[in-house]
Amino acid sequence: MDRVLVIVGSRRRPKLDAVSEALSSFSESIFPAGSYEVIGEEAESGVRHTPLSREEIMRGAKNRAEELAQRSRQAPIRPGFFVGLEGGLNAVEQSGRRWVFLEGWAYVTDGRRGAFGQSGAVLLPETLVRRVVDEGEELGRAIDDFAGGRGIRDAQGAWGVLTGNRITRQEAFRVAVVNAFAPFYNPAAYDAERGAAKG
């Protein structure tokens, strides 16, 4: 039985567990003849510690996955998939007000093609907006102070604090990973789209 490696651009437990949990829901569709193993390796995002736009969050996720793919070209064992995960803030103007949302994004590639997936978004309280967006503080530090805890990003994350643990950091990234893998486990939908574009 062939083992397929899924390399994640982080060693943080919520990210690795999110990928493992996501894969368990559709693994039969993309690994029908074998098993898989999720491995974490640190990879640079190339963006600031807390990205402050959707474009920057997406770029960070893609950079992590593509750095891993580049490294693997010299590796003796070629992994099947590379996953980059990035969380950050996205500000939008609506009716004269600034709304800042926490978002999580995933980028998945097999070294040839890739796809993005998003977690959704939750509104950031103004106190955190001022500290993180206006003053440039890292979200991980700010959320610890806000919630009166330590190491929150490696536990429930800001997602858990803001939603009362109805959605944790791990769950948000799990959704992003499921969405990013959609073209791989449901190729018929995406192949049909490509065929229609050509016709």
| Any domain includes 85 | yes
| Any domain includes 76 | yes
Task: Give me the pLDDT at residue 65, please.
Answer: 97
Count of the separate structural domains present in the chain: 1
Q: Are 86 and 99 in contact (CB under 8 A)?
A: no
Q: Domain containing 177: what range?
A: 2-89+102-122+168-198
| Any domain includes 176 | yes
pLDDT in tens, the chain (199 residues): 568 899 999 999 999 999 999 999 999 999 877 688 999 999 999 999 999 999 999 999 999 999 999 988 876 666 689 999 999 999 999 999 999 999 999 999 999 999 999 999 999 999 999 999 999 999 999 999 999 988 898 889 999 999 999 999 999 999 999 999 999 999 999 986 554 444 4
| Any domain includes 185 | yes
169-180 helix and 13-30 helix, angle to the nearest 10 degrees: 30
| Any domain includes 186 | yes
Phi, psi of 35 (to 5 degrees): -115, 175
Distance CA 4, CA 37 (A): 6
In sequence order, the 6+-apart residues with CB closer than 8 A to the CB of 37 are 3, 4, 5, 6
Q: How many CA atoms lie less than 13 Å away from 120 in the CB half-sphere?
A: 14
| Any domain includes 141 | no
| Any domain includes 160 | no
| Any domain includes 142 | no
What's the pTM? 0.91
Task: Give me the pLDDT at residue 188, please.
Answer: 92
Task: Give me the pLDDT at residue 197, please.
Answer: 47
CATH of the domain at 76: 3.90.950.10
